[in-house]
């Protein structure tokens, strides 16, 4: 008897440490080899931007005057002279510039995606769930914001706040949440009619709780995928913002600007000026894709 | 549904009005003007120009005159930069161009991207999955301002198959490269959204039931799974469309097609107020219409959705 | 290409033939070269032109089209010298403030009506009128035409303008001041005639291909905005027999590199050379990459007004900054297009101007760098010195070329003088506003001459000039400029002004422009010696290559 009771007590204790849905998701993610691999790649890229400067031979703005305009003849990438990625047309070390550019672009992508996920999801879910006039007003506001010429907003930011990196993120943030809001609203409209939402509402759960606890988790698949799609878009939008004078200013650079400049020099024989920044961009996108899909698969409660 | 459309149209008017007013004041708040140049004009010349275009009136008066002109006569005013053309001319010439290659790019992106997404979802986590998505991602990986000059270099300079640019009334050989450059930007997003959405749908109970009942695969996909899976893709079409108008700037720049995207961006840089306003209103109208169509599509996809 | 010289008599016969059949394919009347069957010239422009109405046009690409469609009193030849246009010649009085032009009776509009002095009177009055509100109306004031300022301001009616048609073929112009170089200014498009009847009938749409009537060598046959425009031979043109090119096509291509690709593919005959590509292109396509001096400069201006930084008020700081710029790196390595190092504000290519040897221009770069370091230390700027390290902001409008030069110059200042320069690129309109309101510390500037004389540049530094964004104020310079207006040979004054500028350094001259373009070897007779690049399609011709 005593052993039975002891056994029962042990079982009870063992049962209390249960598994939450989030832990389930984490375990599923860990099992996805591709996702894990590319997560590691992403971490490596970040580490590269942080530690890369240690083996750089010059910083990203120092010009070697004898190399200006000589990139095609003498500026090739070489391990020997320490310019691993070669020179750019201004006689600067491309390796350091790619590091500096990747860092800014990762920041831009992360912040843009975060703003989109947080603000866009909440906005879209609220609009979609409440429907009616609330939805109408909120969505018409999104329509207006989408149609307004973005450049003037940027110019006014520049005039009001002077150029700064912070303003760049404000600009990116303002743009990124609009598309997400629309997509989330669409999904919400469909989800809110499902039986389990009806059940929750019928048992008296408050609207906001329903949104946060029931609707949003079911959106996470689409949100994750769209967020990973946004990152490259934001990286490229940044080069447009810098054109206006608001974002990253010379001699600093970003991945978007490096690709822009590199693309222009493609027919002049300096292919590495495009290939290296584009290469990083490609790896970033692929990594985000696999990680994003891994997250989606992990968070989808129905996926086996 | 008629009531829905009427209600939406009724809301569209105040929406466009708010858009016009906000854009108008934003434009005038930005420093610079349509007649600034490297050599500042003497005061008397500026006075003449301002009088001619009504720029010496107080702002709210200008706005009022402008809106009256738009609503009563559909006259969007003269262009400040292009002296022999009106905004109506510019839009009438540029919009069909952008619409043509934009429409076809859309079709290509949706059909190809959608198919790739469905295939990838069906063969989830196999080599075919990665390959299909790899193709569409390949399109996104090359931004269109990298792809456009590459296409010109390949098809015009190296192969001599296609002319390097121009529009010439939209003959097919002038359409091909713009469509390739523009559709690949959207293909990736559409295929990924399609794939992820399809995966969710394929794992749902009603599909499991259909499989259990022994329905053949193609019937499951096309009759049962495809429609609900379209939902996020359809939602994406709205922002994709607006992106297409602004993304078409790159197409116009590299392929000299003379579309409205380029007119939009140029008018912002040269502060051509009337062109800017005209195109903004046009884009706003299209956005509203498009989103209305999208909402109607939601109802078609999901019968529980009330319009 | 080979030149075949025919006998002298044959050449004389060819050039004295008055009304003979035009040889489309055949041989060139003067050089005897075999002409190609294809006499179409296709060239690229960066941006759509704003208008082809002579009274209103304000950009270079518009002016190029207008010079083909219309013709003014005088033209320029391949070397930039004045040659007759609609006018066969002119006379002037001793004070050089009344000019009388004689028009040729055979000048025709493309609809068959003759060109009269009345057409010029109408055009000039129209260009000055407040109703047209032409952004180039100030040019008539610059020409010193009597009452021009009052007419533009609306204080006097347009017929008060100092231009009269004595009869159908005699035009009299009265100036408010003596201007020896007035005839040079009649090559400018604002002074070209317009057909009154057509303008009054069609209003703003008179320049549409369906409506337009012009008096030049070509008529406008097609115009698709943002894409292309086409002009074809005007058989009513008085000198039509000498025109060889049948058709001129303008393509709008916004991207320099794409334009070059299409040039290589043979779709165009002329395009600009992207920055830095001249050496490799001139090797790969020898003879087709051209470089020639242009009438433009490029400089950085200090803000010398009240709102400018204290440091810039010290002439030693300004000199130091100017000395430390290694211009040869910019011209030979960054631009690589045959540009010329600038130590003076006025380009050497300007007519009747010899570049004075200013002191810092003859030093070697090492000497200049050493002098710069010394000057800056003497002024008290640097680590541990009286005013501390110097730092300032350089603004320029967003463009890859400007950014490249700014980056290189900033690095030069950093490496030689230890100065930190913040590079601030801005969108064009904002840049103009900020610079025009003296809301900057150092700004990039460039100027192209309105006419081929040094005053078009040096007037910028006149304290009363509306273009003097740095607000440089030197009464001696002002006096010298005023005096130069009426001198028969003002070069002594101009030299003196440049010497003052080199001493006081209100601006840092960087380089003087060179025109760079890729031109298909088949196109002949491009006026590379015309520094204003006033080219006329009717002077070009094509041979097979």
The answer, for B260 touching chain A at a CB cutoff of 8 Å, is no
Contacts for C25 with CB less than 8 Å, ≥ 6 apart: C35, C36, C37
Where helices occur in chain B by DSSP H, the ranges are 2-29, 43-53, 59-73, 87-122, 127-141, 144-151, 172-202, 205-212, 217-219, 226-255, 260-269, 273-301
Mutation site, C271, C404, C418, C435, interface A, largest A CB count within 10 A: C404
> Tens of pLDDT along C368-410?
999 999 999 999 888 888 888 899 999 999 888 898 899 999 9
At residue C346, the pLDDT reads 93
Chosen from C332, C425, C434, C440 to mutate, greatest number of chain A CBs within 10 A: C425
Q: Is the pLDDT of residue B231 over 50?
A: yes
Checking if the pLDDT of A9 tops 50, the result is yes
Q: Quick one: closest CA in B to C445, which residue?
A: B38
Give CA separation, C527 vs B192, C450, C540, in Å: 57, 18, 9
Cα C57 from Cα C47, distance rounded (Å): 14
Average pLDDT on C487-516 reads 91
- Size (chain B), residues: 307
Mean pLDDT of the B175-180 span: 91
| Angstrom distance (rounded) from CA C308 to CA A125 | 53
Taken in order A271, A277, A280, A282, the sign of the CA dihedral is negative
CB atoms within 10 A of CB C400: 15
What's the confidence (pLDDT) of residue A303?
55
Instruction: Tell whether the model's pLDDT for residue C349 goes beyond 70.
Output: yes
Check residue B1 and give its pLDDT: 77
> In terms of pLDDT, which residue wins out, C25 or C360?
C360
Which of A65, A89, A250 is facing C276, going by the closest CB pair?
A: A89
Query: DSSP states of C309-347 as a string?
Result: -GGGGSHHHHHHHHHT--HHHIIIIII-SS-EE-SSSS-
User: What is residue C477's predicted lDDT score, i.e. its pLDDT?
Assistant: 92
Indicate whether C304 pLDDT > 60: yes
Label residue C16 by pLDDT band (50, 70, 90).
very low
Provide the number of CB pairs (under 8 Å) joining chain A to chain C: 71
Give pLDDT, residue A3. 66
**pLDDT at residue C15 greater than cutoff 70:** no
Q: Which two tokens stand for residue B11?
A: 């809301």
Per-residue model confidence (pLDDT) at position B243:
73
The pLDDT assigned to C152 comes to 93
pLDDT exceeds cutoff 70 at B286 = yes
Q: What is the pLDDT of residue C18?
A: 40
Residue C202: pLDDT above 90? yes
CA angle B78, B84, B87 (to 5 degrees): 35
Per residue in C79-123, pLDDT (tens digit) is 888 999 999 999 999 888 999 999 999 999 999 999 999 999 999
The predicted structure's pLDDT at residue C235: 93
Q: Residue C218: which of C55, C65, C435, C40 has the closest Cα?
A: C65
C384 has a chain B CB within 8 A of its CB: no
> Does A18 score more than 70 pLDDT?
no
Comparing C-alpha atoms, which of C83, C105, C84, C101 is closest to residue C92? C101
Q: Which residue has the tokens 């510019």?
A: B90
Burial of B52 (0-12, 13-18, 19+ CB in 10 A): middle
Residues of chain A with pLDDT > 90: what percent?
9
What 3-state class would DSSP assign to A53? helix
Question: What is residue B36's three-state secondary structure?
Answer: coil
Contact (CB, 8 A) for C157 and C147: no
Q: How far is B221 from chain A (nearest CA, A)?
A: 17
Q: Which of C153, C207, C251 comes nearest B44 by C-beta? A: C153
Cα–Cα separations (whole angstroms), residue B86 to B77, B95, C75, C192: 6, 14, 33, 24
Query: Which of the residue ranges A257-266, B40-49, C151-160, C185-194 would you say has the lowest mean pLDDT?
Result: A257-266
pLDDT given for residue C20 in this prediction? 41
> Is residue C170 over pLDDT 50?
yes
Specify the DSSP class assigned to residue B168.
G
Which runs of E-coded beta strand occur in C253-397?
270-272, 289-302, 340-341, 391-397
Name, in order, each residue with C-beta under 8 angstroms of C246's C-beta and a sequence gap of 6 or more. C24, C39, C40, C232, C233
Q: What is the mean pLDDT of residues A243-272?
A: 81
pLDDT score at C19: 39
The whole-number pLDDT of residue C193 equals 95
According to the model, what pLDDT value does residue C250 have?
A: 95
What angle in degrees, to the nearest 10, is found between the helix axes of A216-244 and B172-202? Answer: 150
Across chain A, mean pLDDT equals 83
Compute CA distances B17 → B20, B24, B277, B279, whole Å: 5, 10, 11, 14
CB proximity list for C84: less than 8 A, separation 6 or greater: C74, C75, C104
Q: Which two tokens stand for residue C129?
A: 């009128």
Do the bridges between strand C340-341 and strand C523-524 make them parallel or antiparallel, or are there none, so unpaired?
unpaired
Rounded to the nearest 5°, which phi and psi values hold at C222? -150, 140
* Residues of chain A contacting B4 with CB distance shorter than 8 Å: none
Query: Count of CB atoms within 10 A of residue B252's CB?
Result: 29
Residue A6 has pLDDT above 80, yes or no: no
Look at residue C3 in the predicted model and tell me its pLDDT. Answer: 36
Of A154 and C318, more confident: C318
Cα separation values, C79 from C33, C348, C489, C528, Å: 21, 15, 21, 8
Contacts of A53 (CB under 8 A, 6+ apart): A59, A96, A99
Work out how many CB contacts closer than 8 A connect B with C: 149
* Cα B78 to Cα B267: distance, rounded to the nearest angstrom: 13
- How far off is chain A from B6, nearest CA to CA, in Å? 14
B110: left (phi over 0), alpha (psi -120 to 50) or beta: alpha
What is the Cα–Cα distance from B45 to C141, expressed in whole angstroms? 11
Q: How far apart are CA B288 and CA C499, in angstroms?
A: 65
C508 band by pLDDT with thresholds 50, 70 and 90: very high
Residues above pLDDT 90, as percent of chain B: 7
Q: Mean pLDDT over residues C338-366, rounded?
A: 89
pTM equals 0.85
End-to-end CA distance of chain B: 7
| Sign of CA pseudo-dihedral C160, C137, B51, C121 | positive
For A175-185, the pLDDT digits (tens) are: 889 888 988 99
Q: How close C205 comes to chain B (CA, Å)? A: 6
Q: Which residues fall within 8 angstroms of residue A276, CB to CB, at 6 or more apart?
A: A77, A85, A86, A94, A98, A262
Best mutation target among B34, B37, B43, B45 (most C Cβ atoms within 10 Å) is B45
Comparing A5-19, A82-96, C20-34, C80-94, which segment has the lowest mean pLDDT? A5-19
Whether pLDDT at B190 is above 70: yes
- Distance separating alpha carbons of residues A77 and B57, to the nearest angstrom: 60
Rounded to an integer, what distance in angstroms lies between the CA atom of residue C248 and that of residue A144? Answer: 45
- Predicted confidence at residue C400, as pLDDT, reads 81
Name every residue whose Cβ is closer than 8 Å to that of residue C259 and which is 6 or more positions away in sequence.
Answer: C44, C253, C268, C271, C272
Q: What is the DSSP letter of C129?
A: -
* Distance, CA of C71 to CA of C86 (rounded, Å): 7
Identify the H or E element spanning C224: strand C218-224
Contact: A300, B287; criterion CB under 8 Å: no
Residue C65 reports pLDDT greater than 90? yes
pLDDT reading at B140 higher than 80 = no
Q: In percent, how much of chain C has pLDDT > 70?
A: 95
Lowest-confidence segment of A182-196, C34-48, C163-177 by average pLDDT: A182-196
DSSP reduced 3-state for C89: strand
How far is the C-alpha of B17 from the C-alpha of C102, rounded, in Å? 59
What is the average per-residue pLDDT within C197-225? 93
- Which three-class secondary structure state does DSSP give residue C281? helix
Chain A residues within 8 Å of chain C (Cβ atoms): 61-63, 65, 68-70, 72, 89-90, 155, 158-159, 163, 243-245, 249-251, 261, 264, 266-269
Handedness of CA C433, C436, C439, C440 (dihedral sign): positive
Put simply, the chain B residues between 34 and 53 with a CB less than 8 A from any chain C CB are 35-42, 44-45, 47-49, 51-53
pLDDT for the residue numbered C387: 86
C103 with C238: CB under 8 angstroms?
no
CA–CA distance, C219 with C195 (Å, rounded to integer): 13
Question: At B265, is the pLDDT very low, low, confident or very high (cuts 50, 70, 90)?
Answer: confident
């Amino acid at each position: 008897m005593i052993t039975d009771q002891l056994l029962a007590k042990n079982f009870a204790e063992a049962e209390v440490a249960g598994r939450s849905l989030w832990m389930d998701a984490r375990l599923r993610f860990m099992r996805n080899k591709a996702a894990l691999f590319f997560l590691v790649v992403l971490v490596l890229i970040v580490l590269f931007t942080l530690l890369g400067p240690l083996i750089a031979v010059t910083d990203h703005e120092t010009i070697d005057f004898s190399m200006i305009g000589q990139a095609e003849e003498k500026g090739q990438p070489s391990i020997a002279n320490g310019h691993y990625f070669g020179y750019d047309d201004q006689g600067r070390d491309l390796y350091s510039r790619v590091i500096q550019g990747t860092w800014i672009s990762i920041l831009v992508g992360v912040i843009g995606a975060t703003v989109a996920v947080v603000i866009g999801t909440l906005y879209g879910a609220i609009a979609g769930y409440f429907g009616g006039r609330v939805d109408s007003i909120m969505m018409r506001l999104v329509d207006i914001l989408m149609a307004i010429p973005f450049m003037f907003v940027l110019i006014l930011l520049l005039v009001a706040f002077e150029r700064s990196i912070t303003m760049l993120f404000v600009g990116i943030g303002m743009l990124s949440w609009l598309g997400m809001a629309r997509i989330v609203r669409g999904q919400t409209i469909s989800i809110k009619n499902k039986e389990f939402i009806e059940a929750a509402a019928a048992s008296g759960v408050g609207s906001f709780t329903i949104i946060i606890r029931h609707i949003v988790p079911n959106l996470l698949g689409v949100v994750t995928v769209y967020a990973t799609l946004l990152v490259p878009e934001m990286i490229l939008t940044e080069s447009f913002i810098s054109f206006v004078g608001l974002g990253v200013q010379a001699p600093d650079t970003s991945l978007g600007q490096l690709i822009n400049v590199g693309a222009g020099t493609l027919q002049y024989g300096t292919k590495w000026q495009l290939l290296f920044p584009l290469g990083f961009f490609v790896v970033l996108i692929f990594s985000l894709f696999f990680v994003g899909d891994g997250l989606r698969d992990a968070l989808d409660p129905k996926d086996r | 549904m008629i009531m829905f459309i009427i209600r939406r149209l009724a809301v569209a008017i105040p929406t466009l009005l708010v858009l016009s007013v906000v854009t108008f004041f934003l434009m005038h708040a930005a420093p610079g003007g349509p007649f600034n140049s490297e050599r500042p004009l003497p005061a008397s010349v500026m006075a003449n120009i301002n009088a001619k275009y009504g720029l010496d009136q107080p702002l709210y008066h200008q706005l009022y005159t402008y809106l009256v002109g738009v609503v009563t006569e559909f006259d969007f005013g003269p262009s400040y930069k292009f002296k022999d053309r009106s905004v109506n001319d510019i839009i009438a010439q540029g919009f069909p161009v952008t619409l043509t290659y934009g429409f076809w790019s859309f079709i290509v992106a949706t059909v190809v991207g959608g198919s790739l997404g469905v295939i990838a979802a069906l063969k989830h986590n196999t080599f075919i999955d990665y390959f299909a998505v790899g193709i569409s991602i390949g399109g996104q990986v090359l931004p269109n301002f990298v792809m456009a000059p590459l296409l010109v270099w390949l098809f015009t300079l190296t192969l001599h198959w296609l002319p390097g640019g121009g529009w010439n009334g939209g003959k097919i050989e002038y359409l091909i490269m713009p469509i390739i450059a523009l559709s690949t930007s959207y293909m990736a997003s559409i295929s990924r959204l399609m794939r992820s959405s399809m995966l969710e749908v394929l794992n749902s109970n009603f599909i499991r039931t259909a499989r259990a009942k022994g329905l053949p695969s193609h019937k499951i996909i096309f009759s049962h799974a495809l429609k609900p899976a379209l939902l996020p893709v359809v939602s994406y079409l709205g922002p994709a469309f607006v992106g297409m108008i602004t993304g078409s700037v790159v197409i116009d720049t590299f392929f000299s097609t003379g579309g409205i995207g380029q007119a939009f961006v140029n008018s912002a840089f040269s502060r051509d107020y009337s062109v800017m306003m005209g195109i903004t209103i046009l884009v706003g109208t299209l956005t509203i219409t498009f989103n209305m169509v999208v909402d109607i599509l939601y109802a078609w996809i999901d019968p529980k959705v009330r319009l | 290409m080979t030149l075949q010289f025919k006998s002298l008599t044959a050449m004389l016969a060819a050039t004295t033939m008055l009304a003979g059949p035009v040889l489309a394919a055949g041989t060139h009347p003067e050089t005897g070269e075999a002409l190609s069957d294809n006499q179409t010239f296709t060239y690229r422009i960066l941006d759509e032109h704003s208008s082809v109405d002579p009274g209103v046009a304000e950009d270079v690409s518009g002016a190029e089209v207008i010079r083909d469609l219309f013709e003014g009193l005088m033209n320029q030849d391949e070397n930039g010298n004045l040659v007759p246009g609609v006018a066969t010649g002119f006379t002037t009085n001793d004070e050089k403030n009344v000019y009388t032009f004689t028009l040729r009776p055979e000048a025709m509009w493309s609809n068959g009506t003759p060109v009269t002095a009345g057409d010029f009177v109408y055009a000039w009055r129209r260009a000055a009128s407040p109703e047209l509100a032409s952004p180039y109306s100030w040019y008539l004031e610059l020409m010193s035409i009597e009452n021009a300022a009052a007419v533009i301001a609306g204080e006097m009616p347009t017929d008060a303008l100092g231009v009269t048609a004595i009869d159908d073929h005699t035009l009299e112009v009265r100036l408010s001041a003596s201007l020896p170089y007035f005839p040079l200014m009649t090559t400018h498009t604002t002074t070209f005639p317009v057909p009154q009847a057509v303008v009054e009938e069609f209003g703003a749409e008179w320049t549409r291909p369906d409506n337009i009537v012009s008096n030049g060598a070509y008529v406008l046959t097609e115009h698709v905005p943002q894409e292309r425009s086409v002009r074809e031979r005007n058989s009513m043109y008085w000198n039509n027999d000498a025109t060889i090119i049948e058709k001129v096509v303008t393509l709008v291509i916004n991207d320099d590199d794409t334009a070059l690709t299409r040039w290589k593919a043979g779709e165009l005959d002329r395009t600009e050379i992207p920055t830095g590509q001249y050496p490799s292109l001139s090797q790969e396509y020898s003879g087709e990459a051209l470089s020639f001096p242009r009438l433009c400069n490029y400089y950085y201006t200090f803000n010398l007004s009240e709102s400018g930084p204290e440091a810039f008020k010290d002439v030693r700081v300004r000199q130091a900054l100017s000395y430390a710029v290694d211009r040869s790196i910019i011209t030979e390595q960054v631009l690589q297009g045959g540009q010329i190092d600038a130590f003076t504000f006025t380009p050497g290519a300007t007519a009747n101007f010899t570049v004075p040897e200013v002191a810092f221009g003859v030093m070697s770069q090492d000497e200049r760098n050493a002098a710069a370091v010394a000057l800056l230390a003497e002024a008290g700027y640097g680590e541990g010195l009286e005013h501390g390290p110097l730092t300032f902001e350089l603004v320029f409008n967003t463009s890859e070329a400007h950014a490249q030069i700014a980056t290189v110059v900033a690095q030069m200042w950093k490496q030689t003088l230890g100065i930190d320069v913040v590079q601030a690129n801005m969108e064009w309109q904002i840049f103009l506003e900020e610079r025009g309101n003296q809301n900057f510390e150092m700004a990039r500037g460039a100027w192209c001459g309105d006419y081929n004389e040094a005053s078009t540049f040096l007037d910028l530094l006149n304290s009363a000039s509306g273009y003097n964004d740095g607000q440089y104020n030197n009464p001696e310079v002002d006096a010298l400029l005023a005096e130069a207006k009426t001198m028969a040979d003002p070069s002594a004054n101009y030299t003196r002004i440049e010497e003052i500028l080199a001493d006081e350094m209100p601006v840092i001259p960087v380089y003087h422009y060179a025109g760079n373009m890729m031109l298909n070897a088949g196109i002949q007779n491009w006026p590379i010696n015309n520094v204003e690049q006033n080219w006329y399609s009717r002077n070009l011709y094509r041979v097979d290559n």
